[in-house]
Amino acid sequence: MLLNSAEQNTESSVQETHSANVRRSRRTGKELINQFEILRELGEGSFGKVVLCRDVNQQYSRLAMKIIRKFSSKKSSSENKAYLDDIRREVAIMKRLDHPNIVHLYEVIDDPNSDKMYLVMEYLPGGPVLNKDSSSLSEHRCRIYMRDIVMGLEYCHDNGIIHHDLKPENILIGQDGHLRICDFGVSIICRNDDKETVLRGTPPFLAPEVIIRSQTKQPFAGKPVDIWALGITLYMMVFNRAPFKGHQIQETFKLIVHQKLSFPFRLSNELTDFLNKILDKNPDTRINMDEIKVHPWLTNFGQEPFPAKLKGIEITQKELDDAFTSILPLRMVIDVKRRLHKHLLDARDKISRNENRSEQSVTNDTTDNSELNDDQIMDEIISDRSQRDPNLDDQIENNENDWKGGRQNINSSFIRDDKQDPLSSAHNKEINNMQSEIQQANLFNVPQSNLQQQRPDFPNVF
């Protein structure tokens, strides 16, 4: 499936490595993953964590590595499959994106015998464009930063990618001082109609039409939603706070839908006009990307036009399928192994005897299989497949074939269409909560006088 219209790159420049040698450095004692030495943790999320690392083959190289769990023992089988959809889509997108204002992915380390995968990316030492200790930025600095974000976002939109979580936290400052858009975890690859019905993103950055139409599953366009979030991000850079904020999420939703945009202090006429147009609550009259790129505030009255667009990209269904080596067959092995209790104990006893374990060890190892965790079971499966009962292999193979038979349906969910629009697993609970908050907000019966009052900052917004 082709996702752009103009010129296209035909190959990804991202290196793909299918083995992960995880060990400790004898010299420094730090963890090594292939040639990458882990230096310190940069952040952590539901997917795993991001660490700073260095390539030991290049003395001064500093890189960021995103360590992703391929499944979680805390999730159900269906949740893990949906979670893999999210990962697969993010990896496929990042493999193909090649733009100076989007974080660059260098290498994907994906060992089929590992429950983790590793994304090696450029390290952006400047951190987020805003954080809790930031102060307001000057109009001049905001214009420079906005031009970077606009060019990166336009590149995404031109290639059928809706980011869906654009916010200061996901916009990082590179060593060259320019901004990079990152975190495509809830992004979607859309068709030409650009219509969707799923609630995605962070509450204070959601567009009014998303809040209103998601209640009745009415479709809305994706690009204007990103442009609204771009406007919220600019407002926060200028005023160091969000424009619509309440004590609770449902109150924030009411303000987004009903409250009139206001400015804490006077701005230039051009910036005031730009903010009013980009934060227009009506998506049909909201400024679009072509209009943004010729607005007097961003172009300094035409003296600083935007450069020509870069080449388009191509993301095929095969690239989505091959984004990484799925560990689901191994997960299915775990499920089979738990059901076939007797065969498991026999297989583990054979392994234990071959490794000359003590009698006490064997006794401890033959406790109820439900007490074993996934890592222990998986280690045994991978360590010596040759010593398992042949009947067990047959049952495992049948189970894996059953899973593969349904894989087409799973893969089809990576590309959104009108009939199928699955929720992002990583945000499933959060989305359900937001849907509930929207219902409780009773958006269509709100006294306007109550919405004009000043509110304290939203808890997670600067």
pLDDT score of 146: 98
Is 183 assigned to a binding site? yes
Q: What is the pLDDT along the chain (462 residues), one digit of tens a residue?
A: 223 333 334 456 899 999 999 999 999 999 999 999 999 999 887 678 999 999 998 866 899 999 998 877 677 777 778 778 888 888 889 988 999 999 999 999 999 999 899 999 999 999 999 987 888 899 999 999 999 999 999 999 999 999 999 999 999 999 999 999 999 988 988 866 668 878 889 999 999 999 998 888 889 999 999 999 999 999 999 999 999 999 999 999 999 999 999 999 999 999 999 999 999 999 999 999 999 999 999 999 999 999 988 666 555 555 556 655 544 444 444 444 444 455 556 656 666 666 555 445 444 444 444 444 444 544 554 444 444 444 444 444 444 444 344 333 333 333 333 333 333 444 456 666 666 666 666 665 544 444 444 333 433 444
What confidence score (pLDDT) does residue 323 get?
59
Buried-exposed string 398-432: b where 16+ CB fall within 10 A, e elsewhere: ebbeebeeeeeebeebbbbeeeeebbbbbbbebbe
CB-CB contact of 144 with 299 (8 Å): no
Alpha carbon distance 31, 294 (integer Å): 49
Q: Which two three-digit tokens encode residue 137? A: 């930025």
Residue ranges of domains in the chain: 15-86+95-123, 127-316+419-451, 328-412
- What pLDDT, in 10s, does the model give residues 313-372? 555 555 556 655 544 444 444 444 444 455 556 656 666 666 555 445 444 444 444 444
* pLDDT for the residue numbered 126: 93
CB 81 within 8 A of CB 328: yes
pLDDT, position 367: 44
Residue in 369, 382, 375 with CA at minimum distance from that of residue 338: 369
95 is in an annotated binding site: no
C-alpha 24/C-alpha 177 separation (Å) is 35
User: Catalytic residue at 165?
Assistant: yes
> Catalytic: which of 86, 111, 148, 165?
165
Residue 302, CA distances (Å) to 144, 272, 295, 305, 308 in order:
14, 17, 8, 6, 15
Which uninterrupted H or E stretch holds 54? strand 48-55
Q: What is the model's pTM? A: 0.70
- Point out which residues pair with 38 in neighbouring strands: 53
For helices 390-405 and 328-339, angle between their N-to-C axes, nearest 10 degrees? 130
Fold adopted by 127-316+419-451: Transferase(Phosphotransferase); domain 1 (1.10.510)
Report whether 170 belongs to an annotated binding site. Answer: yes
Q: Which residues are paired to 16 by β-bridges?
A: 108
Look at residue 385 and give its three-state secondary structure.
helix
Of 3.40.50.720, 1.10.3720.10, 3.30.200.20, 3.20.20.10, the CATH number of 15-86+95-123 is: 3.30.200.20
Q: Is 49 annotated as a binding residue?
A: no
CB 279 within 8 A of CB 285: no
Query: Would the annotation count 169 as a binding residue?
Result: yes
- Under DSSP, the state recorded for 405 is H
Tokens 């980011």 locate to 163
